[in-house]
Copies of this chain bind each other. A is one copy, B any other.
Amino acid sequence: MSLFIKDYCIEEFEKRGVTLDDMAELLLLIQQKHSPDLTIEAAKKHILKVFEKREVQNVVLTGLTLDKMAENHTLDEPLHSLMWNDDSLYGVDEVLAYGIANIYGSIGLTNFGYLDKAKPGIIGKVNDKHDGKVNTFLDDLISAVVAAAASRVAHRKRDGYHILDVD
């Protein structure tokens, strides 16, 4: 893993208005039924662990760069128009997110789809685009990272780790 790229990804999320706290709250939301003892602090640490995975970093980096370049009108055509107009049949964001969601196993797929469709919390906010923002990949990346973290929590719980023991 690259700590440089890990930090870069988290900073880029923050620049686009998505904090670790926002993602930790989503994790609590989808885990509250299965892991009611999970705290916001532990949730943040689980999310950070997901960002340490090289596979996650590469997917996040690629998706965020595409969003940012579409937003800055520096992406080549015709991809720029496709992303700028947020074509509902452009599914590359889902393809990429899948590369993240199942890094901790296939149970992440269900949570990914749920978050991406129901759009609770920060996901709804970034999806409510305005002022020339392009978040085509961002909402899928958030959903996928949180879904991966949820799988991490579930598998570790079964493995006998205490819910607040993250490392």
List residues of chain A with CB under 8 Å of any chain B CB: 1, 4-5, 8, 34, 53-55, 58-59, 61-62, 65-66, 68-69, 74-76, 78-79, 82, 88-92, 94-99, 102-103, 105-107, 109-118, 154-155, 158-159
Q: How many chain copies?
A: 4
Q: Decide: A95 and B89 in contact? CB cutoff 8 A.
A: no
Minimum CB–CB distance for A20 against chain B, Å: 20
User: A91 is contacted by which of B65, B66, B92, B105 (Cβ under 8 Å)?
Assistant: B105
A-B contact pairs, 5 of them (CB 8 A): A58-B89, A61-B78, A65-B76, A96-B96, A114-B117
Write the nearest CB–CB distance from A167 to chain B, whole angstroms.
15
Measured in the bound complex, the distance between the Cα atoms of B91 and A103 in whole Å is 13
Q: Which residue of B lies closest to A55 (CB)?
A: B105
Do the beta carbons of A98 and B109 come within 8 Å of each other? Answer: yes
A86 to chain B, nearest CB (A): 13
Closest chain-B Cβ to A146's Cβ sits at a distance in Å of 12
Contacts of A118 in B (CB 8 A): 114, 118
**The 8 A-B residue pairs with the shortest CB-CB distance in the complex, in nearest-first order:** A113-B113, A91-B106, A114-B117, A95-B99, A55-B105, A94-B106, A91-B107, A65-B79
In the complex where A54-B105, A106-B94 touch, is A154 in contact with B88 (Cβ < 8 A)? Answer: yes
Most B-side CB within 10 Å, residue of A62, A88, A98, A106 = A106
- Known A-B contacts A105-B103, A113-B114, A117-B113; A92 and B82 likewise in contact (beta carbons under 8 Å): no
A116 touches which one: B5, B99, B113, B159 (CB < 8 A)? B113
